[in-house]
Structure 1
């Protein structure tokens, strides 16, 4: 999948596509249904399929720390869209100037002049431009005026429940991992690059892979039984997600202790799938107490996996 980072990198050869626009946070089953429509229509028209997303996501700009927690960071979103066979991903830098532009300018300059959109698929609640004054009705008038196709999306339902990023986020925050997995179409996972830490885990006898998560807010926190995909294969383990109050952590990160593993992961990417929550994150009075609890967590995770043999080598 081709990545176009920024409007300034749209080239003449990018003109002509079937486009959809949105946050696509989580790339869940509802998103996947929309993307299947985009792909099918693009193939019928012999055009590239294109997805437009924004970084930061609009609410992250306007609501700041009150913005919803992210289900997926940009890299995770990119990989999920690529796996679904989308041809192009346009990542538009979202700032107040972009948000304040005239909505008709957005249509004429970006959608038509730069992208040459032949067909657009968006939700009928899509708003854009100054004071969110651009809406589906305006797109309908533009489609009629300029001759491009337009479709609205319909929300996918599972057992009469609408699938949405908001519902998935709520399920994760309520520790309902199975419900989140059902709506995502895959287990919830966090990815990142393993970095050097303070080696406290190693000194306590439980070496950990430390991963900065690069999110303003996480939808999950606590201690989990995990499976992790590494460059050396798939391993079971236990992970702490949060700000590590016992050692006065200053950023939210993931620390994964992998069972029966003794390799160097520094600098490599790791994918950590949350399988079962063991407990909430907590502060301990001293490192000895923390060490004892880690041993308890490891035993609890191994007990969980002993009852889930299908998870031994699976991330699906």
Structure 2
């Protein structure tokens, strides 16, 4: 998949595109329906399949520090798009100036003149531009003017409700990672480099990989059964999210103990796939009580991860 951050970088290679546009936070099952439709429609009509998205997320620019964390990083988002089979991803830098643009100007200059738009596929509630006037009705009128078709897809319903980024985010923040999986189409994951920690886990007999994450969505504090992806290999594990109250720490951390693993992975990128929450974070009386509970957590994690539907 070709990835560009300026329309000018791909313009000359395009003779007509089938495109979808959105933030695609989480690249969940609703987004997958859009992306798959674009891929299939483009293949059937001889067009180039394109997804147009934005970085940073518009909420980050418009709301600043009060913006909720993104479910997926831009790198993860692009991986998901490529896995669907899209040919091009356009990642436009999002600014306040872009948010204030009239939708008519954006469609004419970026989509029609810049990307040679022939077919547009949007979600059931998509709107963009100044005042969010760029809705289905306006896009349909502009399509008649500039010669492109507009298709609006119905929402995806799972477990009786519409699949949405907000719904998924709320689930993850509540620790309901197992229930979020059908909506995402995969287990929620957090990525980062393995950083040096206090090595307290090693002294207790359970060495942990301390994840140096950035702004990704971290589940509710507690202990989880997880898969830890190291070098493309999935390994079973137990992860703790919290502040290690037994030892009086205050900074939030994500630490994963990889079961039956003795390799050194400092400074290596890993991905922690959260399968199911085992328990809340707890302050123990001391190391002995903590070790006993860790052994119990590991036993529970082994049972959870052995289930066929617990595979990533």
Distance 2:170 2:102 in 1: 34
Partner SS, residue 12 of structure 1 = helix
Partner SS, residue 114 of structure 1 = coil
Change (3 A) 1:68 1:194: same
Corresponding residue for residue 16 of structure 2: 16
Aligned counterparts, 1:157-306, within 5 A: 157-215=157-215, 218-231=218-231, 233-242=233-242, 246-249=248-251, 252-281=252-281, 289=286, 292-293=289-290, 295-306=292-303
Q: Structure 1: where are the runs of 5+ without partners? A: none
- Contact between 2:120 and 2:151, CA under 8 Å: does it hold in 1? yes
Change (3 A) 1:115 1:303: same
- The more displaced of 137-146 and 216-225 is 216-225
Change (3 A) 1:218 1:233: closer
- Contact between 1:15 and 1:114, CA under 8 Å: does it hold in 2? no
Instruction: Please state how far the C-alpha of 1:137 moved relative to its aligned partner.
Output: 2.0
Distance 1:43 1:102 in 2: 31
Distance 1:136 1:243 in 2: 46
- Contact between 2:305 and 2:311, CA under 8 Å: does it hold in 1? no
Distance 2:81 2:276 in 1: 26
- Contact between 1:17 and 1:117, CA under 8 Å: does it hold in 2? yes
Partner SS, residue 307 of structure 2 = helix
- Contact between 2:15 and 2:47, CA under 8 Å: does it hold in 1? no
Instruction: Please state how far the C-alpha of 1:151 moved relative to its aligned partner.
Output: 0.8
Instruction: Please state how far the C-alpha of 1:102 moved relative to its aligned partner.
Output: 2.2
Distance 2:51 2:74 in 1: 13
1:151-190 alpha-carbon deviations (Å, 9 max, x no partner) = 1121011243211122222222333233211212222222
- Contact between 2:211 and 2:253, CA under 8 Å: does it hold in 1? yes
- The more displaced of 187-196 and 89-98 is 187-196
Backbone CA RMSD of aligned residues: 2.6
Distance 1:277 1:35 in 2: 31
Instruction: Please state how far the C-alpha of 1:203 moved relative to its aligned partner.
Output: 4.2
Change (3 A) 1:105 1:315: same
Q: Structure 2: where are the runs of 5+ without partners? A: none
| TM-score (ref. length: structure 2) | 0.88
Distance 1:306 1:225 in 2: 9
Distance 1:262 1:311 in 2: 26
How many equivalent pairs are there? 310
Distance 1:34 1:167 in 2: 18
Change (3 A) 1:93 1:102: same
Distance 1:295 1:73 in 2: 36
Distance 1:294 1:94 in 2: 48
Instruction: Please state how far the C-alpha of 1:15 moved relative to its aligned partner.
Output: 5.3
- Contact between 2:224 and 2:239, CA under 8 Å: does it hold in 1? yes
- Contact between 1:56 and 1:93, CA under 8 Å: does it hold in 2? yes
Distance 1:24 1:31 in 2: 6
Change (3 A) 1:282 1:216: farther
Corresponding residue for residue 115 of structure 2: 115
- Contact between 1:70 and 1:218, CA under 8 Å: does it hold in 2? no
Distance 1:315 1:228 in 2: 12
Corresponding residue for residue 31 of structure 1: 31
